[in-house]
Amino acid sequence: MGGDMTTAPDRLGDQAVVPLRTLDPDAPLDDLAHLDRAIGDARVVAIGESAHYNAESYRLRHRLLRYLVERHGFTAYAMETGACEAWLVDDWVRGGAQPVGRVLAEGLTSLMGSWTQMREHLEWMRRHNAAASTPVGFYGIDLGCANASLLPALDVVLDHLARAEPESPVSPALRATAATFPATSAFAIPQALAAYGQLPVERRDALTAGLAELAARLRAGSLDHVRRTGAEDYERALRAMANTVTLDVVLRGMARGDLRSAALHRDTTIAETVEWVLGRERRVVLAAHNGHIQRQPVTMPGAAAPVTTMGMRLADRLGRDYLVIGTTTATGRTLGPGFFAGELFERLPPPEPGSLDALMAASHDGPFTTDLRTLSSRDAEAVRAASRQRYGTYYAEVDPLDAYDLLVHLPYVTEATPDPDALTASPEEVRAAVAAWQAR
């Protein structure tokens, strides 16, 4: 039937729509049972989001994590946040004594932990782990420190080397250079990038060369390092070193205006970090932006060409063991381009006709899932024709049937709720920006 139609339908058939009763993470999970067959034996289930900091996205991922842990034995939650900083979060969900505000503010980068919905998610993990025979670990996959400062990951490396090779101290000049462009939060990214751009070329080159030398020292000293500090400490230092080197490359790309190169190197390294997590965990829930998890190049504003994504690399490595759940949205409020000017969120208008979001919005009034692998020919044609998807407030080209396995549609999204304890532990610029936004 679908092949004879001259135009694709503007909505999915009822058989393709499986309503979600609720997004409440504490609600019974029976309405998710239809996902059992789709999950199967997948080792990684990736859950996307159209934009950061939406309350509904946090709640959806929280609920899906609970379902995947309780029904399918998943053992880790890996999130688009700084890898080194997230070790603080992992310690806390396993029973650590740090104040929760500090965990949210310092353990989750780029404001990912500034919200009550994220706190509730971590509190569930902590309660679960307190009684579980197999705890659920928390991992960050990103480069760290809002992807603008080398210091957090570099300090992990330097601390390791100070204990593994105390007889060979690292020149303080390396860290001193990195300290000239710190980024204490996502709101400090413009200043950090400007400070890096003002470094003389020869000092940037010396930083890059120094990092390469540190990486070589780590590899060459592996046997002695493991003997002196233990395998876990050494493996974490290697991961931190990889992130530091990549972030240096990203900053060099940003300084010359090559956004595509910066994004390519970032996604390559976060894919490698996910593989590192897989070496430690049986099954992993992966939470990141749609543009990272999709099995297809992503088109970014300002980039010269599409970028090979983390999802493409994981799909190549894992095949059927990588399951991708994308999300779409209809209306509400979302992160907008005025973020750095204090306009944290803006109104989300109805999706443009012909987009994937519009197709999903027209198919059902409430939240629902659809399995793209089991669509009728009619519905598959409708999805294939919806070749643009909204990421926040801009649209990117996408072939949904290639990019995703399933979709979850969120008909109405809202800004997440700032968490008081997280804000108290956050830098002044974060508190000021949130206060100004709340006062509007």
Residue 341: predicted pLDDT? 75
* Closest C-alpha among 118, 287, 114 to residue 186: 114
Instruction: Write out pLDDT tens, residues 238-270.
Output: 999 999 999 999 999 999 999 999 999 999 999
* Closest C-alpha among 306, 311, 304, 305 to residue 288: 311
Instruction: Write out pLDDT tens, residues 112-130.
Output: 999 999 999 999 999 999 9
Average pLDDT over residues 321-344: 91
Residue 336: predicted pLDDT? 83
C-alpha to C-alpha distance for 110 and 40, rounded to whole angstroms: 33
Q: How far apart, in Å, are the Cα atoms of 209 and each of 149, 152, 185, 241, 263?
A: 17, 19, 27, 13, 22
C-alpha to C-alpha distance for 260 and 304, rounded to whole angstroms: 6
pLDDT higher than threshold 50 for residue 63: yes
Dihedral sign (CA 280, 287, 270, 401): positive
Q: What is the dihedral of CA 137, 143, 148, 152, to 10 degrees?
A: 60
pLDDT higher than threshold 90 for residue 304: no
391 sits in which H/E element? strand 388-391
Q: Bridge partners of 324?
A: 46
C-alpha to C-alpha distance for 327 and 316, rounded to whole angstroms: 22
162 sits in which H/E element? helix 151-164
Average pLDDT over residues 313-319: 98
Domain positions in the chain:
2-145+281-439, 147-267
**What Rg, from alpha-carbon coordinates, does the chain have?**
22
Residue 50: predicted pLDDT? 96
Q: How far apart, in Å, are the Cα atoms of 281 and each of 131, 284, 309, 367?
A: 19, 7, 22, 31
Average pLDDT over residues 150-161: 98
Residue 440: predicted pLDDT? 79
Is 2-145+281-439 a CATH 3.20.20.70 domain?
A: no
Q: Whole-prediction pTM value?
A: 0.96
Token code pair at residue 110: 């780029």
Average pLDDT over residues 175-189: 94
In which band, very low, low, confident or very high, does the pLDDT at 5 lie, cut at 50, 70 and 90? Answer: very low
Backbone phi, psi, residue 279, to 5°: -70, -10
Say if CB 50 and CB 112 are below 8 A apart: no
Residue 2: predicted pLDDT? 40
Residue 334: predicted pLDDT? 94
SS3 281: coil
Average pLDDT taken over every residue of the chain: 95
- 393 or 362: which carries more pLDDT confidence? 362
Residue 289: predicted pLDDT? 97
Token code pair at residue 380: 């598959």
Q: What is the share, in percent, of the chain residues with pLDDT greater than 70?
A: 98
Residue 7: predicted pLDDT? 67
Instruction: Write out pLDDT tens, residues 215-226.
Output: 999 999 999 999
Say if CB 23 and CB 62 are below 8 A apart: no
**Of 4-13, 290-299, 325-334, 400-409, which range is least confident?**
4-13
